[in-house]
Structure 1
Amino acid sequence: MSSSNGEREFKINIAIDGPAGAGKSTVARKVAKELSYVYVDTGAMYRAVTWDMLNRGIDAEDETAVLERMGAIDIELVPGDEGQRVWLSGTDVTDEIRSLAVNRTVSRYAQIEGLRAELSAAQRQMALRKGVVMDGRDIGTTVLPDAEVKIFMTATVEERARRRFRELPESDEAITLEQLESEIAQRDELDRNREVSPLVCAADATVLDTTNMTIDEVAEAIVRQADLKLSRTGQ
């Protein structure tokens, strides 16, 4: 990939949405690095909240308890040599939030309107200065509807399950690829049908089916779109 936009006077925001396992986070990190932008992993924020709730025995059905606990949670996304680290109230939970338990329950907590409102407000604050690459489920439609570049990444359930399978920590309980496919399909249904900020493709988003694309190919396609938008912005 090549881009001269790191030195540009103008900056834009890039929203990358899509279902679980589409490769959004990996691609978003590469795009942000190429453009010298800030990467915001919104999924990690929901995962961190979920991990905290599970550890404290707070069920997603108890919305009052969830929202009360949210007042004591502080999430920091910290850039590092080996990628972004996720800190929750002073503790690095980057590896813990990728567990199977979190994978299986994060969508339940993400449906809570008050929780989404609080995290979305924090995410918008991060993007005020522009120069942000943000990935999630509702970035282009709800969090950053005015993002200059919007991408909707997808892939087959089978391919997304394979990707997620490779991400699971070795310490996790045994799960088959077939089980993971079933869980991802269920997650898709939950994300698409939730009442608050459902997973939908923004009308002005570019759809990228990444099933047969490499991470670099996807990132290059997004950087090209950013280059085009930046060249128009600078005219």
Structure 2
Amino acid sequence: MQTDPAPPAPDQLVVAVDGPSGSGKSTVCKRVAAALGLRYLDTGAMYRALTWWALERGTDLDDADAVAALAVALPLELGQDPAAPTVRVAGTDVSAAIRTTRISEAVSAVAGNLAVRAELVRRQQALVAPGGVVAEGRDITTVVAPDAPVRILLTAREDARLARRAQEVHGTADAAALAATRDQVLARDARDSRVARFLDAADDGVVQVDSSDMGVEETVATVLEVVARLTGVRPAVGAAR
């Protein structure tokens, strides 16, 4: 009698999640990682950290070679506890600094540098390789971890994404906040889509989850159901969601 294979051990599981700005990737992935007892890797934070480092050093972001050289030497440390992820550059905690408008408006120039992407993807793959991680970003399902047992595109309608980001950045989703947020969300997605495919499912192996009409709890539950269906791995009893 043939039996189904045992689910992978949590410390070997890789959950790869891509999606546009405002789709809820960071919040959902941290909750999923906590529920499954996995590490949390925010690859976008790596591009933001390099952007911060370049600006602090007065490097011209349009100087592709100079920025690529900085990427190779970047003294980056990532804390991967989903309850309290941290980002440190040269010993300085930049977890808050890399989320400022200054960095958000500049990061696409760095993320679009192909030599930078090659270096940071190399680092990301080294962090993902041991398993036991939920990794989120723009090209996780296609480049960083294309063989991950769970690959998800987390998306949402434009209006929902704009409202979420406006609420996050401005504390409100009124007309003025939406207008102020539009370029940061839509223009950045357009720029980043030139080098990473994250606006639609890349192939049949990627599961699309639309969070437009779902709250955080429902979206987390949906992602956990996808993980369980594909791998048999479920949250431990009493695990946080």
TM bracket (short chain): 0.7 to 0.9
Quote the residue 1:201 is aligned against: 201
Tell me the distance in 2 between the aligned counterparts of 1:156 and 1:111: 24
1:94, CA displacement in angstroms?
0.4
Partners of 2:201 and 2:168 in 1: how far apart?
25
1:104 paired with 2:105, answer yes
Query: For structure 1, which segment, 22-31 or 221-230, has the greater mean C-alpha deviation from structure 2 after superposition?
Result: 221-230
Q: Which runs of 4+ in 1 moved over 6 A?
A: none
Q: Secondary structure at the match of 1:57?
A: coil
Query: How far apart are residue 212 of structure 1 and its match?
Result: 1.2
> Which position in structure 1 is the counterpart of 2:220?
219
The answer to whether residue 18 in structure 2 is matched with residue 17 in structure 1 is yes
Map 1:68-217; keep pairs closer than 5 Å.
68-79=69-80, 83-168=84-169, 176-192=177-193, 194=194, 196-199=195-198, 200-203=200-203, 204-217=205-218
Matched-pair contact (CA < 8 Å) for 2:209–2:223 = no
Query: Residue 176 of structure 1: SS of its match in structure 2?
Result: helix
Query: Which residue in 1 is equivalent to 2:236?
Result: none
Alignment partners' CA distance in 1, 2:168 and 2:76: 22
Q: Counterpart amino acid of 2:216? A: I
CA distance in 2, matches of 1:186, 1:116: 19
Deviates more, 1:107-116 or 1:151-160: 151-160
Query: After alignment, is 75-84 or 221-230 more displaced?
Result: 75-84
Unaligned runs of 5+ in 2: 1-5, 234-241
Structure 2: how far apart are the matches of 1:35 and 1:43? 22
1:39 matched to which residue of 2?
40
Q: Deviations over 1:209-234 (max 9, x none)?
A: 111111111111111121222239xx
Alpha-carbon deviation of 1:166?
Answer: 3.1
Which deviates further from its counterpart, 125-134 or 138-147?
Answer: 125-134
Secondary structure of the residue that 2:12 maps to in structure 1? coil
**Alpha carbons 1:13, 1:130 under 8 Å: kept:** yes
The one-letter code sitting in structure 2 at the alignment partner of 1:181 is R
**TM superposition score normalised by structure 1:** 0.86
For residues 12 and 115 of structure 1, do their structure 2 counterparts lie closer, same or farther at Cα, with a shift above 3 Å needed?
Answer: same
- Tell me, yes or no, if structure 1 residue 228 matches structure 2 residue 229: yes
Q: Could you tell me the percent identity over the aligned residues?
A: 36
* Contact 1:6–1:36 (CA under 8 A) maintained in structure 2: no
Task: State the match for 2:237 in structure 1.
Answer: none
Alpha-carbon distance in structure 1 between the residues aligned to 2:68 and 2:146: 25
Is the 2:71–2:116 contact (alpha carbons within 8 Å) kept by the matching residues of 1? yes
- Number of aligned residue pairs: 222
Q: Deviations over 1:8-62 (max 9, x none)?
A: 4773211110011211011110111111011101011111111111222222210
Name the CA distance, whole Å, in 2 between partners of 1:90 and 1:155. Answer: 36
8 Å contact kept, 1:16–1:136: yes
Q: CA–CA distance in 2 between the matches of 1:130 and 1:14? A: 9
Aligned counterparts of 2:170 and 2:52: Cα–Cα separation in 1: 15
* SS of corresponding position for 2:88: strand
Unaligned runs of 5+ in 1: none
